[in-house]
Amino acid sequence: MIKDTMTVRFNTSDNPWIAKYEEITLSRKKLQHIVDEIVESCSDKKYSASHSYNKHITEVIYKEKTNIGSRRPLMLALKNMLSEQKPEGILSWNNSYKAAIRSLDELIAYSTPGFIESRAYNEIYGG
């Protein structure tokens, strides 16, 4: 049985070489309606790129009135819950759970401190 609370650990450092982690505890019960809305908003879509689902997910997330400073911990918690609730077996690429998880992975990456700078550096100078 899954506990009602979920602790999310995330990096808050602006320095890409030195991590500084914080934890936040969230209620699964309070997040479940957001998970349900995300699954609903990603249903019956046949996009060919993961980022096409971002608009549906951000619409759901940003209409929530949160006072947590950064939405990254919220997105991490939502991704964890979607992963736990994803149906078993082989799912199509456009399955609403898989699409939402892929999209949240991208949104989380871009909200990670230093990610955009690191990506720009890589595009300019190579990896």
pLDDT value for 71: 81
> Which 8-state DSSP code applies to residue 24?
E
Sorted by sequence, the CB contacts under 8 Å of residue 99 that are 6+ apart come out as: 42, 45, 47, 50, 53, 93
Helix (H) or strand (E) holding 105: helix 96-111
Q: What is the signed CA dihedral for 1, 100, 91, 87, rounded to 10 degrees? A: 20
Domain positions in the chain = 29-125
Which of 13, 29, 33 has the alpha carbon at shortest distance from 21?
13
d(C-alpha 63, C-alpha 38), whole Å: 12
Q: Pick from 20, 104, 30, 101: which is nearest to 68 by CA?
A: 30
Q: What is the pLDDT of residue 127?
A: 62
Q: Count other C-beta atoms under 10 Å from residue 81's C-beta.
A: 19
- Region of 114 on the Ramachandran plot (φ > 0 left; ψ -120 to 50 alpha; else beta): left
Look at residue 102 in the predicted model and tell me its pLDDT.
92
Which pLDDT belongs to residue 67?
Answer: 58
pLDDT < 50: residue spans in the chain: none
The radius of gyration of the chain's CA atoms, rounded to the nearest angstrom, is: 16
